Amino acid sequence: MPHRHLIAGNWKMNGVKASLAVAEAIAAQSRSHSARVALFPPATLLPLMADVLKGTDIILGGQDCHHADSGAYTGDISAAMLKDAGASMVILGHSERRHGHLEPCALVARKVQAALRAGLEPIICIGETLDQRQGGLTIPVLSRQLADSLPDELADRPFQVSYEPVWAIGTGLIASDAQILEAFALIRRYLDQRFGAHVAPHLLYGGSVKASNAGQVLALEGVSGALVGGASLTVEDFMPIIAAADIAPV
Ligand code: PGA
């Protein structure tokens, strides 16, 4: 198991230059807390934020990358470009990419390979929709996403997996403790069987994490971090989540 929680803030399509002040304040205030903190701003802010965060412990990451290293792909961003802009992590397979951009698991796996080639540490997201949960399909859906989105190259590389029930993202609904524990046990078992027990990525939970529930989520067995969307956009909302990791055991 990792020794410190990873608290990751995914800004999604939010943030302009003025938002760099938020990153600066998060970096300053995080120093007194135990968690590793990562910020995933829109790509337009990456180089500027890298400058702002220089000399701090905050990890910088991209929100997606293309599966190819370079080429004629209008509007896309390669993993190497993220790296060049100052990123060391990248979120892949987020439900807003899987559903909003119709990205299948096989494409997510190719993006993970591209991220590894560029030396980025991927956070790979999986999660079931409400229909799938209500249809009793949660376990098969998560199992398939794990099998098809994680390439073999991960065996000897650092990576993270984030369980994000689609119905909990941006809705204010959070999965119950039992639902999170069931999903995490499945993920842990799968990773042990496929890659060996020595592979110990952070397992994050994402979906409506906020100050009022972060302590409870982070204290759950096997949860070693959180991927936070809406509540990572302001210092007031994000800092209590970072602070919640101080008291929760990893
Ligand atoms: P949310 O988003 O915290 O706004 O629900 C989580 C995510 O999409 O990672």
Distances 32 to 57, 202, 205, 215, 242 between C-alpha atoms, Å: 11, 21, 23, 17, 10
Across-strand partners of 160? 123, 202
* Atom 1 in ligand 1: residue holding the nearest Cα: 229
Q: How far apart are CA 161 and CA 90, in angstroms?
A: 12
- Cα distance between residue 177 and residue 22, in whole Å: 31
Nearest C-alpha to atom 2 of ligand 1 is from which residue? Answer: 229
User: Does position 206 have pLDDT exceeding 80, yes or no?
Assistant: yes
For 28, the token pair is 């300053």
CA of 170 to the centre of ligand 1 (A): 5
139-151 average pLDDT score: 98
What average pLDDT score do residues 127-139 get? 97
pLDDT of residue 120: 98
**Which whole-number Å values give the CA distances from 184 to 47, 161, 209, in the listed order?**
34, 10, 16
Beta bridge partners of 60: 39
DSSP codes, 13-60:
T---GGGHHHHHHHHHHHTTSSSEEEEE--GGGHHHHHHHHTTSS-EE
Q: What is the CB < 6 Å shell around ligand 1?
A: 10, 164, 169-170, 206-209, 227-231
Helices (H) and strands (E) in the chain, counts: 10, 8
pLDDT at position 197, please? Answer: 78
Q: Which atom of ligand 1 is nearest to the CA of 91?
A: 9
Ligand 1 centroid from CA 72, angstroms: 31
Mean pLDDT of 180-203: 90
Tell me 181's DSSP state.
H
Q: Would the CA dihedral through 95, 234, 87, 226 be positive or negative? A: negative
pLDDT reading at 1 higher than 90: no
User: How large a percentage of the chain has pLDDT more than 90?
Assistant: 93
DSSP class of 178: H
How does pLDDT run across 117-128, given as a tens digit for each residue? Answer: 999 999 999 999
Query: Quick one: pLDDT band at residue 2, thresholds 50, 70, 90?
Result: low
164 is catalytic: yes
CB half-sphere exposure, 239, CA atoms < 13 A: 14
Give how far the C-alpha of residue 172 lies from the chain's centroid of Cα atoms, to the nearest Å: 18
Distance 208 CA to ligand 1 centre (A): 6
Q: Which of 89, 130, 228 to probe ligand 1 with, by most ligand atoms within 8 A of CB? A: 228
Angstrom CA distances, 180 to 5, 11, 54, 55, 177, stand at 16, 23, 35, 35, 5
